[in-house]
Amino acid sequence: MVPKLHAQWQGLDFAGLFARNAAFINTDSQNSILDPDGVLSQERIWDGARKQGGSLANILRLAGACRALAMPFMWLRYDRFIGEKEPTTVMDEAQYHYWNQDYRGDRARKDWEAELVGEVKDIMEPDDITLVYPGWSIFVATPLRRWLAQWGTRTLIVSGYHTDWCVEMATRSARDLGYQPVVIGDACGSTQPLHDQTLTQINDCYAPVLSTNAALEALGRARLVSTD
């Protein structure tokens, strides 16, 4: 459930924020989470994600509205299985060993886990950027900030998975770095009750949380602002 917009954000002009210097940022719309055969299938985040009002369906709706404003797009992917970062500390080694001890996939299978799902690939355009991030934050050990600077981005329209991991971390890091993140709550997904709890935490502390419908309405008004 998307929380009611906190009073501290009520004075924000979302259409104005979205009209200029905004980018679409999505985390982890990938096979490991959204395919029934993915390594995280037991979380069942994929179940209902493609139905009307589901998280993936809302991501696709949101993407269409952002396309209409010619925003830059960033699709970020997390390789749970080490990916670009080999363990460098004893803590890394302990955690990755625990995660991988029962996993029998080869490198090709691991690469598949981190691939974007077909529905996202179908709507991608040649200028879209996709990056694998190796840490907890999308800003660490990636060129994301360089891309945002090149685009002149200040506002980040954030969606994706998991709400309580990468979405929250991206939002908190973005605020610390001086960006203006807006989280689209029902275009995010995680297990319950963590999904709802994290959206409330984000909305109360770090950034406004909007529903997809509210974001689409603001994006529609932003198209009028951007043509003034």
Tell me the per-residue pLDDT of 145-170, one tens digit each, with 9 for 90 and over: 999 999 999 999 999 999 999 999 99
In a domain, 85, yes or no: yes
The confidence score (pLDDT) of residue 69 equals 97
Q: What is the pTM of this model?
A: 0.94
In a domain, 53, yes or no: yes
In a domain, 182, yes or no: yes
In a domain, 111, yes or no: yes
In a domain, 1, yes or no: no
The confidence score (pLDDT) of residue 135 equals 81
Burial degree of 41 (CB within 10 A; 0-12, 13-18, 19+): middle
The confidence score (pLDDT) of residue 35 equals 97
CATH code of 12's domain: 3.40.50.850
In a domain, 192, yes or no: yes
In a domain, 14, yes or no: yes
Stretches in the chain below the pLDDT threshold 70 = 80-87, 226-228
Whether a cis peptide bond, with omega within 30° of 0, leads into 193 is: yes
The confidence score (pLDDT) of residue 81 equals 55
The answer to whether 156 touches 179, Cβ cutoff 8 Å, is: yes
Q: Which residues contact 69 (CB under 8 A, 6 or more apart)?
A: 18, 19, 22, 219, 222, 223, 226
For the chain, count helices (H), then strands (E).
10, 6
Can you say whether residue 16 is alpha, beta or left, with left for phi > 0 and alpha for psi between -120 and 50 degrees? alpha
The domain tally of the chain equals: 1
Q: Model confidence over 61-71: pLDDT tens digits?
A: 999 999 999 99
The confidence score (pLDDT) of residue 87 equals 67
Find the domain containing 67 and state its range.
7-226
User: Which two tokens mark 163?
Assistant: 């709400």
Place of tokens 């979302």: 14
Other residues' Cβ atoms within 10 Å of the Cβ of residue 112: 17
Q: Which residues contact 90 (CB under 8 A, 6 or more apart)?
A: none
User: Which two tokens mark 53?
Assistant: 């009002």
User: Which two tokens mark 145?
Assistant: 């900030």
The answer to whether 164 touches 197, Cβ cutoff 8 Å, is: yes
The answer to whether 182 touches 215, Cβ cutoff 8 Å, is: yes
